[in-house]
Each structure stands twice: as structure tokens, then as C-alpha cells.
């Protein structure tokens, strides 16, 4: 007999553009949505288990397009004095907190192994439906190269997190294929410098258009979701879009030409508005924990963000078909941005996992209405076995 649960009495936002439905009923059967609507329109099956959610609002699961469930901003001497396995375990509560905050799908933008996705799917611990980039593709000395001025390289390299350093199209092809072998759902590369990397100004372009295009090709033929590009400076943003990446992460210094390219491409801007604030908050909470060079770069980028990003977000348009960023994901997971203006697409991303205590929400569940096809070309990745879900 089917396992049936009815969530009754809540307010429902169904993401179809209509008014919220009061006194809603949501019926979940064997972990999948079976019926959704007002109490007058949905009949409760005989023997169904009722859960009163009065006073709560139900809505389709949110998507966080840029998280790092395993990476955590901590003092260098602390962060690099623990074992790699311990670092992976630290991602478990972040996965749970992300799900409990309502994000039922998350795209991890680097430094999280595919094993975390598999463990969530197998029900070992709860978390969102996860798409991972595994490790970050970068040029030598770029944002994904953690070698310090002293020559110390504290990068976490293992078979689960292979090196992504590449300095030619051929090296990029090998690095991209290595990430794919390690289980990547997306490829992540750096087309500009960054704030927390030690030796590169944020506005400098990194990787050539040819090198980026190789990664785009490898992602396409492997039927991945695509390539996301860490891109802060204007020239690196333009290079990434010209090479065919599907999402620009950060985009803080985007210029008019970059905005027009974004609007004309099958691409998204993920502005990660919380990311810079989180760095400042950590520096304020623990004075001296952030290097002076990082704080100087942060100040430069914050001022650029305040000038450039509002215009880019205003230029973002509604995603009417929902297929671009989440090709192959369940239809109920396809969130839409409704910023005014034609063309362009803007997606939400925090650039961190959610931490417990960040807000009051009821624990999220993953009914997985269309789970079987959520990652095109990877039917084995359509499983959902999170503990505690209806």
C-alpha cells in the first residue's frame, strides 16, 4: 500500500504567478507530490496520514546556485591543521542546515567531492539535491591556485579532489576530464582573480578564451550541466561568456559590454550578494583572522560591486522556460528570477552553505516529483533517499 501523507492547513505558493492558496492541501505519495491545491479542491485519500501545517507557508524548494558545503572561512593555521577526512565531515551539518533553510537543490561551486552528493542520495545524512563541481579549474597563480608567496601550497589534493591547475588548452582538457572522472556535475573555472586567493588582483583576466572553450566543450560532450566561471573583473567576464560558459559567478565589476553579452547568451549571472558581507563579518568577529591583502581586495571589490551590480541585476529578465541553469532538473525545482528588463537571467547563490540558526524555517522535504531525470544523461543520479522526508 502506498505511503501517503497530507500536509493540511498551510498557505501555498505554487510558483505559477497566482495568489497564495490559503488552507492548502499537499498530498505526498511514496515520496512524490500526488496532489496540490485548496482544501475544497483536493480530496483526502482514505487512511492518509495528516500533518497540520497551519501557520506555515509551503512553496517549491528553493535553489542555491552557489554553495561551498565543505569550504569554511577560518584562520589559515586552523583550516590547514586538520585531516582531509575531518574537513569532509564538517560539510555534513552544513548540508542539513541548507536543506532545513528551504534549499532543496544546491550547486556546489568547488572543493566538495562527489561522495557528498552520493551520501545524501543514499540517505547516509540529509541534505539538498546536490550538484558538484568537485575542484576548481585555474591557471597557475590564479584564483584556484592556493600557493602562498612563501611557496607553501595548502591545497587539499586527493583522488576525490584532484588538482585543477591548467596552463594550456591541452592541460585544460586533461584537468576537465579528471574532474569529470571524479564525478563532477558541473565544471567550475576561474576567469579572473579573487579576494581570498593570495597572489592575484580581482580584476585581472585569467585563462584564455581558448582554454575556457575547451572546458565548455568537455562539459557539453560529457552531458554535464555546463561550466560556471568565477568572474569578478570585466574582461574575464567577457572572455568567459565569449567561450560559452553558462553562469557567471559574482560578476562584481561587470561592464555594459558584459551585460549585453549576458543578455544575448544562454547564461546566468549569480551575483552572490552575501559573499563579500560574509568575509567582512568574519573579519569583524575575529580581528586579525583575515590577511591584510584580502581586506584590501575586499574594499576594492565592494566599491565596484556597488557601482556595477545593480545595473546588471536590473537588466536580468524572467526565465520563462526554466531550462538553462538546471537542465534536466525536476520542473518543481525551477525557480524563476523576475527582475525587470528583457533578456539576461539572474540566479540566487550565497557562496556558502547555510549555517544552523540563520533563520526560522520548518525543515524542508524533497518530494522529488520528477526525480528520475533530474540530471540529463546521468539516470543513476536521480535517486533521493534523504532520511525523514515524507
Domains and their CATH numbers in the chain? 1-59 (2.30.40.10), 62-333 (3.20.20.140)
Residues contacting residue 118 through CB under 8 Å, at least 6 positions apart? 183
**What's the pLDDT score for residue 75?**
64
- Tens digits of residue pLDDT in 229-243: 999 999 999 999 999
**What's the pLDDT score for residue 178?**
98
Residues contacting residue 177 through CB under 8 Å, at least 6 positions apart? 218
**What's the pLDDT score for residue 367?**
39
* Mean pLDDT across the chain: 82
CA 92 to chain centre: 16
Is the per-residue pLDDT at 355 higher than 60?
no
Least confident of 35-49, 336-350, 368-382: 368-382
- Tens digits of residue pLDDT in 122-138: 999 999 999 999 999 99
Is the per-residue pLDDT at 76 higher than 80?
no
Give, for 131, the enclosing helix (H) or strand (E).
Answer: strand 129-132
CA 319 to chain centre: 17
Is the per-residue pLDDT at 279 higher than 90?
no
In whole angstroms, what is the distance from residue 280 CA to residue 167 CA? 32
The average pLDDT across 11-40 equals 93
In whole angstroms, what is the distance from residue 85 CA to residue 350 CA? 25
In whole angstroms, what is the distance from residue 313 CA to residue 130 CA? 26
**HEC per residue, 158-171:** CCCCCCCECCCHHH
Least confident of 29-33, 204-208, 301-305, 379-383: 379-383
Q: Is 0.75 topped by the overall pTM? A: yes
- Tens digits of residue pLDDT in 324-336: 333 333 332 332 3
Residue (of 322, 352, 273) closest to 107 by Cα position: 352
The average pLDDT across 26-36 equals 93
Is the per-residue pLDDT at 382 higher than 60?
no
CB 106 within 8 A of CB 129: yes
Is the per-residue pLDDT at 81 higher than 80?
no
In whole angstroms, what is the distance from residue 384 CA to residue 121 CA? 5
Return the residue matching grid coordinates 541548507: 98
Least confident of 59-68, 73-82, 139-148, 269-278: 73-82
The average pLDDT across 67-92 equals 81
Q: What percent of the chain has pLDDT over 70?
A: 81
In whole angstroms, what is the distance from residue 24 CA to residue 7 CA? 8
Amino acid at each position: 500500500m502506498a505511503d501517503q501523507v497530507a500536509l493540511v492547513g498551510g498557505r501555498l505558493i505554487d510558483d505559477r504567478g497566482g495568489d497564495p492558496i490559503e488552507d492548502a492541501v499537499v498530498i505526498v505519495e511514496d515520496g512524490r507530490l500526488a496532489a496540490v491545491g485548496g482544501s475544497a479542491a483536493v480530496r483526502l485519500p482514505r487512511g492518509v496520514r495528516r500533518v497540520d501545517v497551519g501557520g506555515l507557508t509551503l512553496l517549491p524548494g528553493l535553489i542555491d546556485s552557489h554553495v561551498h558545503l565543505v569550504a569554511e572561512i577560518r584562520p589559515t593555521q586552523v583550516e590547514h591543521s586538520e585531516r582531509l577526512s575531518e574537513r569532509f565531515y564538517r560539510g555534513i551539518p552544513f548540508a542539513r542546515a541548507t536543506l532545513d533553510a528551504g534549499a532543496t537543490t544546491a550547486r556546489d561551486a568547488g572543493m566538495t567531492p562527489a561522495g557528498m552528493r552520493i551520501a545524501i542520495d543514499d540517505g547516509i545524512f540529509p541534505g539538498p539535491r546536490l550538484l558538484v563541481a568537485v575542484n576548481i579549474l585555474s591557471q597557475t597563480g590564479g584564483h584556484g591556485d592556493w600557493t602562498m608567496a612563501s611557496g607553501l601550497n595548502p591545497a587539499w589534493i586527493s583522488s576525490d579532489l584532484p588538482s585543477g591547475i591548467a596552463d594550456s588548452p591541452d592541460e585544460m582538457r586533461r584537468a576537465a576530464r579528471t574532474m569529470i572522472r571524479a564525478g563532477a556535475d558541473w565544471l567550475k573555472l576561474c576567469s579572473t582573480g579573487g579576494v581570498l586567493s593570495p597572489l592575484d588582483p580581482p580584476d585581472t583576466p585569467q585563462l584564455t578564451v581558448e582554454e575556457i572553450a575547451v572546458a565548455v566543450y568537455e562539459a557539453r560532450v560529457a552531458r554535464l550541466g555546463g561550466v560556471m566561471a568565477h568572474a569578478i573583473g570585466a574582461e574575464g567576464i567577457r572572455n568567459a561568456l565569449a567561450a560559452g560558459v553558462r553562469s557567471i559567478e559574482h560578476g562584481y565589476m561587470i561592464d555594459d559590454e558584459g551585460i549585453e553579452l549576458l543578455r544575448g547568451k544562454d547564461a546566468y549571472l549569480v551575483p552572490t550578494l552575501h559573499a563579500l558581507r560574509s568575509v567582512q563579518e568574519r573579519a569583524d568577529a575575529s580581528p586579525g583572522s583575515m590577511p591584510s591583502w584580502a581586506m584590501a581586495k575586499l574594499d576594492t571589490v565592494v566599491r565596484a560591486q556597488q557601482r556595477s551590480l545593480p545595473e546588471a541585476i536590473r537588466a536580468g529578465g524572467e526565465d520563462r522556460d526554466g531550462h538553462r541553469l538546471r537542465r534536466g532538473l525536476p520542473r518543481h525545482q525551477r525557480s524563476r528570477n523576475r527582475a525587470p528588463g528583457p533578456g539576461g537571467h539572474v540566479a540566487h547563490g550565497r557562496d556558502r552553505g547555510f549555517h544552523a540558526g540563520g533563520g526560522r524555517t520548518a525543515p524542508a522535504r524533497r518530494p522529488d516529483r520528477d526525480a528520475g531525470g533530474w540530471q540529463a544523461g546521468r539516470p543513476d543520479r536521480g535517486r533521493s533517499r534523504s532520511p525523514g522526508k515524507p
